[in-house]
Amino acid sequence: MKWISRQDCREAMKSIPANQVSMILTDPPYFMDGMGDDWNHDKLKAKTRKAGVIGSLPVGMKFDREQGKRLQEFLAPIAVEWMRILRPGGFVLCFSQNRLSHRTAIAIEDAGFEIRDMLVWKYEGQAKAFTQEHFVRKRNISEKEKTRLIEKLSGRKTPQLKPQSELIVLAQAPRDGTFVDNWDKWLTGLIDASAPHIEPDRFPGTVMPVSKPRERYGHMTAKPVELLRHLIRLFSHEESLIFDPFTGSGSTGEAARLEKRKFYGVEIDPLMAETAEKRIEGCLDEHARLQKDAKGMAGTEKNSLRISG
């Protein structure tokens, strides 16, 4: 395969020489009910009834105090390898489920990285809080008692505000000298705020409003390519190597190619790896086609205006 290595990233990274990667942009498993280091596409799909719901609960609502600990233990040795393969001053941008983001940050920080910031991907989600009335109805109690409980609950819902964001841990490998010296030697460590992909008329901020992707390519937690292009453009330079150890459906790879970067991804799930490979290979042609269609539509509108005038 050209773009994707089908294996466990913990093995794949061993073959990457030191200081070869300019930026790591990734979305690791969140260690929530089937989304751990033993992620299996078929098993997870069988447990998933609809998007964002596993079993009977929305993703993130099956609370287990050990989830964060398992996530941190999983990421700790991986982050050590990130430090080895990343160039001095290079950036790690790691998506994380909000309530576990502190564990993600600790694992990365303990590997020697500087935690520079927490970025916010802002989107418009769907409210997932639900009432308790149906649970009361199922209880083996009198109708009078059911009525009393329902009235006392007074429409109260589970503690879930409407999701509107996801956090991204922004970390940086220690620089080699000053910012100037580091850039001169490694072409890393500084950002390019001259032409942001999102909100191009504004200086880039920590909050990035981007809609969730309509096409997920069979992946539960696919990220929008436009957001990834924005991050890649900010935190790397053209022709640099972008690495994603949890490639999934290939969104990072597509974004990297569209931004004229090199890309290497690793994906343990064979089905996802195949999907990502095809998607990344064909993304430039698809992007060119969409641009051509858009220009054609614009030309049609102009002609229509001329005729009308």
Averaged pLDDT, 213-239: 87
pLDDT score at 105: 98
Greater model confidence, 249 or 291: 249
Averaged pLDDT, 134-158: 92
**Are 11 and 146 in a shared domain?**
no
**Are 56 and 191 in a shared domain?**
yes
**Are 97 and 136 in a shared domain?**
no
**Are 221 and 248 in a shared domain?**
yes
**Are 175 and 229 in a shared domain?**
yes
Q: Which domain holds residue 132?
A: 127-161
Greater model confidence, 305 or 188: 188
**Are 137 and 109 in a shared domain?**
no
Q: In a 10 Å sphere around its CB, with 0-12 CB exposed, 13-18 middle and 19+ buried, how is residue 133 labelled?
A: middle
**Are 151 and 299 in a shared domain?**
no
CATH number assigned to the domain comprising residue 237: 3.40.50.150
**Are 232 and 293 in a shared domain?**
yes
Query: Could you read off the pLDDT of 169-217 as tens digits, one per residue?
Result: 999 999 999 999 999 999 999 999 999 999 999 999 999 999 987 776 6
Averaged pLDDT, 29-36: 63
**Are 107 and 247 in a shared domain?**
yes
**Are 36 and 137 in a shared domain?**
no
- Percent of the chain at pLDDT above 70? 82
**Are 149 and 46 in a shared domain?**
no
DSSP of the chain? --SEE-S-HHHHGGGSPTT-EEEEEE-----SSS-STT--HHHHHHHEEETTEETTEETT-S--THHHHHHHHHHHHHHHHHHHHEEEEEEEEEEE-GGGHHHHHHHHHHTT-EEEEEEEEE--------BSHHHHHHSSS-HHHHHHHHHHHTT-B-S-PPP-EEEEEEEEPPPSSSHHHHHHHHS-S----SS-SSSTTS---SEEE-PPPS--TT-TTPPPHHHHHHHHHHH--TTPEEEESS-TTSHHHHHHHHTT-EEEEE-S-HHHHHHHHHHHHHHHHHHHHHHHHHHHHHHHHHHHHHHH-
pLDDT score at 64: 76
pLDDT band at residue 47, thresholds of 50, 70 and 90? very low
pLDDT band at residue 37, thresholds of 50, 70 and 90? low
Query: Could you read off the pLDDT of 256-273 as tens digits, one per residue?
Result: 999 999 999 999 999 999
Q: How many domains does the chain have?
A: 2
**Are 20 and 60 in a shared domain?**
yes
pLDDT band at residue 285, thresholds of 50, 70 and 90? confident
* pTM summary value: 0.82
Averaged pLDDT, 46-55: 48
Residue 36 has pLDDT above 60, yes or no: no
